[in-house]
Amino acid sequence: MTYRVCFVCTGNICRSPMAESVFHARVAEAGLAELVTVDSAGTGGWHEGEAADPRAASVLGEHGYGTEHIARQFQSSWFPRLDLVIALDTGHLKALRRHAPTEEDVRKIRLLRSFDPSAGDELDVPDPYYGDRDNFEECLEMVEAASTGLLAAVLAELEGRTA
């Protein structure tokens, strides 16, 4: 059975596509592409149908990650088919919790940086949209750091399913 992860930010053009691309690469490197699906969405539909922000795509490409992306808005109806919904900041976390149909769905929602032990109490990935290229690089660093712990958590879940 496939394990499904969806990353969620505001407009699905910066942070969540970066997280999707990085985690997709981690999943592939671990040989889990057949077992784990990765996608992303935004809490709002302002950018639906658009590609990732050019700065996000540029930073991803320069670091060897995929850049193909089409923005879409997260739908509450997706919860039943998802195993993990990863919010990029506390605003997204709160919005997702408000729209989760059941308590079981609420338990699927986690902050990305909660998987990074070095994050401490700073669990938000700041929105780079109004910043410059350095902000996108910083976002990528945070996403990469958290992806290691996230992959370990997903692996533990997968092992638990087969035990």
Per the annotation, the verdict on 39 as an active-site residue is no
Q: What is the DSSP string of 58-117?
A: HHHHHTT--------B--GGGGGG-SEEEESSHHHHHHHHHH-SSHHHHTTEEEGGGG-G
Q: How many domains does the chain have?
A: 1
Helix (H, G, I), strand (E, B) or coil at 42: strand
Query: Which tens digit of pLDDT belongs to each residue from 81-105?
Result: 999 999 999 999 999 999 999 999 9
Which range marks the domain in which residue 9 is found?
3-162
Q: Which of 72, 83, 97, 127 is catalytic?
A: 127
Per 3-state DSSP, the chain is made up of helix, strand and coil in percentages (nearest 5) of 50, 15, 35
Among candidate residues 6, 14, 15, 110, the one labeled active-site is: 15
Residue 57 dihedral angles phi and psi, to the nearest 5° = -60, -40
10 falls in which pLDDT band (50, 70, 90)?
very high
Q: What pLDDT, in 10s, does the model give residues 30-66?
A: 999 999 999 999 999 999 999 999 999 999 999 999 9
Which listed residue (6, 9, 14, 139) is catalytic?
9
pLDDT at 116 over 90: yes
- Residue 83 known to be catalytic: no
Find residue 36's DSSP bridge partners: 3
Classify residue 149 as exposed, middle or buried by CB count within 10 Å of its CB (0-12, 13-18, 19+).
middle
Residue 14 bears catalytic tag:
no
Q: What CATH number did the domain enclosing 41 receive? A: 3.40.50.2300
Distance between CA atoms of 87 and 48, rounded to whole angstroms? 18
Q: What is the pLDDT of residue 163?
A: 63
Reported as a single tens digit per residue, the pLDDT across 118-144 is 999 999 999 999 999 999 999 999 999
